[in-house]
C-alpha cells in the first residue's frame, strides 16, 4: 500500500546497532521505539562504492564540457570550470554548516552523539540566514505550484500542498523532532540519521530548485553550484557532492557536467537579464536531475547495506521514500517493491529485492 513513508519515519524510530554478543537479539530486529545505544558501528566504514555500469551512455542531448559533438553551442562552461555570476555566494555557508553538523553528530561514523551534541548541532542549523531559514520556505519544483508561495500559506494550506511545500511540510517536522528528541537523549543514533537524511534531501531539492529559478535570477545558478559542490572543484567535494562522490564517481562526474550545462544555458540565454529559452533550460535541468537522482539512489543502496548500524535504516527510509515520485513515474512495479521493502523493519527487508529495484529504476546518471 502506498502511503506517506516520511511520516512513518518521523513517528516510528528504529534504534541501535548489531549487538556484539551473538546471543543477543540484533538491534536491526528491534521493534520501533526500542533503544540500544550500547554499541554502534560506522555506516561509512569499508567500501562505499556501489556497483556501476561502465557502459552507461550519456543522452544524445546532454551537455559535455568542451565537446564539439554534443549539439551545444560554445559557451563559458567549455573549460570545465564553473564561473560564478557573483563574487560572493551565500549558499556556501549553508554547505559549511552541514559539514559542521555532520562532524558534531558523527554522520556515518560510530559516534553516539550526546544530548549536548544535538543542542550544538541545532545552534548551527538555526543560525541567522542558515539552513533552517531555507528549509522553512523550500519548495519542490517537481510539483505544481501552490496558489501562493509556500512561505505565504497558512499551516492548513501548507498541509494541503505538502509535496510542493516540502520544506515546511516534510523536512522541518523531521528535523525539528529529531533535534528535540536527540537533545533529550532519546534515540541518538536514529535521530542523527534522520537529520542527515533530511538535510541531504534538502540539498538535493534545493539544487534542483535553484537550477530552474536561475531563469529569473542568474545568481541562483551560483546557488545551484554551491548547494551541490560546496564551492569545491570537481576533483574534490563537500556536502552533498562529498556523499555522492564517495559512492558513485560516475554520478558525481555527470552531475558536475550537468551543473556546467545549466551555466552554459544561462551564458547563452541573456546572462545579464531574464532568460527566455526555457526549452534549453529544461534540457540542462533534466540532465542534472537524472544525475542527482542516481546519486541519491546510490546513497540509499550503500546505507541499506549497513542498515544494522545504529539508526541507519531510518535515514534509508527517508531518502528512499522521497525517491518514490520519480520511481513511480519510471517503473511503477519496481517502485511498489521499493515502497514495500522500506516499510519493513531493517532485519526483515529483502536486500536483494531492494537493490534490484533501485538498480532497475535508477540505472544510470
At residue 35, the pLDDT reads 35
Please list the helix, strand and coil fractions of the chain in percent, rounded to the nearest 5, in that order: 55, 0, 45
Q: Is 282 exposed, middle or buried (0-12, 13-18, 19+ CB in 10 A)?
A: middle
Model confidence at 310, pLDDT cuts 50, 70, 90, reads confident
Cα angle vertex 278, ends 276, 284, to 5°? 130
Residue 121 predicted with pLDDT over 50: yes
Residue 60 predicted with pLDDT over 60: yes
Query: For the chain, how many structural domains are there in total?
Result: 1
CA distances from 91 to 83, 98, 105, 174, 220 (A): 15, 11, 21, 22, 10
Better-scored residue on pLDDT, 340 or 48: 340
pLDDT in tens, 68-79: 999 999 999 999
Residue 220 predicted with pLDDT over 50: yes
Residue 14 predicted with pLDDT over 80: no
At residue 44, the pLDDT reads 85
If one counts every other C-beta atom within 10 angstroms of the C-beta of residue 185, the result is 15
At residue 47, the pLDDT reads 74
Residue 37 predicted with pLDDT over 60: no
Distance CA 159, CA 61 (A): 38
Distance CA 344, CA 339 (A): 9
Distance CA 206, CA 141 (A): 9
Residue 99 predicted with pLDDT over 80: yes
Residue 32 predicted with pLDDT over 70: no
- Cell numbers representing residue 243 in the block: 556523499
> Which domain range does residue 257 map to?
5-361
pTM of the model: 0.90
Asked if residue 167 lies in contact with residue 150, where contact means CB atoms within 8 angstroms, the answer is yes
Task: Report the residue count for the chain.
Answer: 365
At residue 194, the pLDDT reads 99
Model confidence at 260, pLDDT cuts 50, 70, 90, reads very high
Question: Over pLDDT 70: what percentage of the chain?
Answer: 89
pLDDT in tens, 236-259: 999 999 999 999 999 999 999 999
Amino acid at each position: 500500500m502506498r502511503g506517506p513513508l516520511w511520516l512513518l519515519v518521523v513517528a516510528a524510530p528504529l534504534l541501535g546497532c548489531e549487538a556484539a554478543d551473538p546471543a543477543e537479539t540484533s538491534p536491526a530486529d528491534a521493534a520501533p521505539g526500542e533503544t540500544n545505544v550500547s554499541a554502534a558501528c560506522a555506516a561509512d566504514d569499508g567500501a562505499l562504492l556501489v556497483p556501476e555500469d561502465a557502459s552507461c551512455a550519456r543522452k544524445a542531448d546532454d551537455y559535455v564540457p568542451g565537446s564539439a559533438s554534443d549539439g551545444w553551442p560554445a559557451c563559458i562552461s567549455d573549460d570545465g570550470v564553473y564561473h560564478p555570476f557573483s563574487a560572493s555566494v551565500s549558499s556556501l555557508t549553508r554547505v559549511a554548516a552541514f559539514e559542521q553538523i555532520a562532524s558534531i553528530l558523527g554522520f556515518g561514523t560510530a559516534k553516539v552523539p550526546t544530548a549536548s551534541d544535538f543542542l550544538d548541532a541545532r545552534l548551527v542549523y538555526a543560525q541567522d540566514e542558515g539552513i533552517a531559514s531555507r528549509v522553512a520556505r523550500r519548495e519542490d519544483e517537481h510539483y505544481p505550484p501552490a496558489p501562493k508561495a509556500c512561505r505565504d500559506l497558512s499551516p492548513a494550506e501548507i498541509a494541503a500542498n505538502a509535496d510542493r511545500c516540502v520544506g515546511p511540510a516534510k523536512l522541518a517536522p523531521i528535523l525539528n523532532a529529531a533535534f528535540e528528541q536527540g537533545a533529550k537523549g532519546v534515540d541518538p543514533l536514529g535521530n542523527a540519521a534522520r537529520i542527515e537524511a533530511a538535510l541531504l534531501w534538502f540539498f538535493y531539492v534545493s539544487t534542483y530548485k535553484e537550477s530552474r529559478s536561475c531563469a529569473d535570477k542568474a545568481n541562483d545558478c551560483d546557488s545551484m553550484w554551491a548547494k551541490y559542490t560546496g564551492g569545491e572543484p570537481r576533483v574534490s567535494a563537500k556536502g552533498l557532492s562529498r556523499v555522492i562522490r564517495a559512492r558513485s564517481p560516475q554520478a558525481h562526474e555527470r552531475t558536475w557536467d550537468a551543473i556546467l550545462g545549466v551555466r552554459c544555458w544561462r551564458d547563452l540565454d541573456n546572462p545579464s537579464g531574464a532568460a527566455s529559452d526555457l526549452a534549453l533550460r529544461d534540457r540542462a535541468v533534466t540532465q542534472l536531475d537524472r544525475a542527482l537522482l542516481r546519486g541519491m539512489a546510490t546513497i540509499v543502496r550503500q546505507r541499506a547495506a549497513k542498515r544494522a548500524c545504529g539508526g541507519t535504516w531510518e535515514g534509508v527510509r527517508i531518502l528512499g521514500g522521497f525517491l518514490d515520485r520519480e520511481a513511480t513515474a519510471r517503473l511503477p512495479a519496481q517502485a511498489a517493491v521499493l515502497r514495500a521493502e522500506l516499510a519493513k523493519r531493517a532485519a526483515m527487508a529483502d536486500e536483494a529485492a531492494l537493490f534490484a529495484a533501485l538498480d532497475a529504476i535508477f540505472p544510470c546518471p
